[in-house]
């Protein structure tokens, strides 16, 4: 059963039909919806493997390239190949709908024309390239909490030490002053940091680190630092993606 919105080819007004995608790609990737005049009318769209329903309206080559490009830039916001996503998937669609001025329920790239896809590309590139104002410089330690550390069989509290700048050198220097090794920097998460025991925390404060003691301090200091890294890692993803997008004809 072809949903009514997908039943007619917008290019030649012929009815559409389900075909095996082998008819289009030589290899089968499951069903596709194509113009019944294919290949004379070169318009088709893939189908969702789970539901078998078309992913959008049938599209000619020009529109297929635009949709592919729009998906590449948009998906990089919530599912980057590397780095940290800027959004969760649902939040990304919410943001996109507002950015390009369509109702959320109509915000599907598979339903868009080339002009709308161009708007998607524009909005996503602008968003990832927006300037970031870094917070003031300094090294901070947050409060001691049970973070699952066990030393000599005893559960101990620990805290984090991080810098307010993308330049990690001030952080490394302070860490070295209190007897930590650079390779102990935890860079796997969003904000690169050192983990400190209670004793190391006292040394860090004595060496000039500033304490974050409460929720208000956390909101004022940690959040801008987190947002700075979020933007930085999102931007790295956007630059990487820009390098692999093929130019449109």
Contacting residues toward Zn ion, per CB under 5 A? 9, 11-12, 14, 35, 37, 41
Q: Please report how close the Cβ of residue 16 comes to Zn ion at its closest, in angstroms.
A: 8
Q: Please report how close the Cβ of residue 60 comes to Zn ion at its closest, in angstroms.
A: 8
Q: Which is nearer to Zn ion, 44 or 87 (CB)?
A: 44
Q: How far is the C-alpha of 55 from the C-alpha of 247, rounded, in Å?
A: 23
Q: Which is nearer to Zn ion, 17 or 75 (CB)?
A: 17
Q: Please report how close the Cβ of residue 249 comes to Zn ion at its closest, in angstroms.
A: 20
Q: Which is nearer to Zn ion, 4 or 150 (CB)?
A: 4
Residue with tokens 């020009």: 62
Q: Quick one: DSSP state of residue 51?
A: T
Q: Please report how close the Cβ of residue 7 comes to Zn ion at its closest, in angstroms.
A: 12
Nearest to 192 by CA among 223, 231, 161: 161
Coil vs helix vs strand at 20: strand
Residue with tokens 């692999």: 244
Q: Which is nearer to Zn ion, 41 or 161 (CB)?
A: 41
Q: CB of 45 within 8 A of CB of 54?
A: yes
Q: Please report how close the Cβ of residue 89 comes to Zn ion at its closest, in angstroms.
A: 32
According to DSSP, the β-strands at 31-35 and 194-197 are unpaired
Q: Which is nearer to Zn ion, 33 or 117 (CB)?
A: 33
Q: Max alpha carbon distance in the chain (Å)?
A: 77
Q: Which is nearer to Zn ion, 7 or 129 (CB)?
A: 7
Q: How far is the C-alpha of 175 from the C-alpha of 10, rounded, in Å?
A: 64
Quick one: CA torsion of 47, 49, 53, 57, rounded to 10 degrees? Answer: -20
Q: Read off the tokens for 158.
A: 């620990």
Q: Please report how close the Cβ of residue 109 comes to Zn ion at its closest, in angstroms.
A: 21
Nearest to 141 by CA among 76, 85, 211, 63: 211
């Amino acid at each position: 059963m072809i949903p009514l919105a997908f039943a007619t080819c917008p290019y030649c007004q012929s009815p559409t039909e389900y075909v095996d995608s082998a008819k289009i790609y030589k290899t089968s990737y499951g069903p596709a919806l194509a113009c019944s005049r294919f290949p004379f009318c070169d318009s088709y769209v893939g189908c969702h493997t789970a539901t078998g329903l078309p992913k959008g309206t049938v599209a000619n080559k020009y529109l297929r390239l635009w949709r592919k490009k729009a998906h590449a830039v948009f998906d990089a916001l919530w599912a980057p190949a590397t780095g940290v996503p800027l959004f969760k998937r649902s939040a990304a669609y919410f943001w996109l709908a507002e950015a390009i001025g369509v109702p959320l329920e109509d915000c599907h790239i598979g339903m868009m024309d080339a002009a709308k896809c161009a708007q998607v590309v524009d909005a996503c590139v602008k968003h990832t390239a927006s300037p970031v104002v870094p917070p003031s410089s300094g090294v901070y330690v947050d409060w001691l909490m049970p973070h699952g550390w066990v030393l000599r069989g005893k559960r101990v509290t620990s805290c984090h030490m991080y810098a307010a700048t993308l330049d990690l050198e001030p952080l490394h220097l302070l860490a070295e002053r209190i007897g930590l090794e650079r390779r102990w920097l935890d860079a796997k998460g969003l904000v690169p940091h050192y983990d400190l025991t209670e004793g190391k925390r006292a040394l860090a404060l004595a060496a000039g680190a500033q304490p974050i003691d409460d929720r208000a301090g956390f909101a004022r200091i940690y959040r801008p630092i987190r947002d700075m890294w979020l933007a930085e890692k999102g931007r790295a993803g956007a630059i990487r993606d820009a390098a692999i997008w093929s130019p449109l004809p």
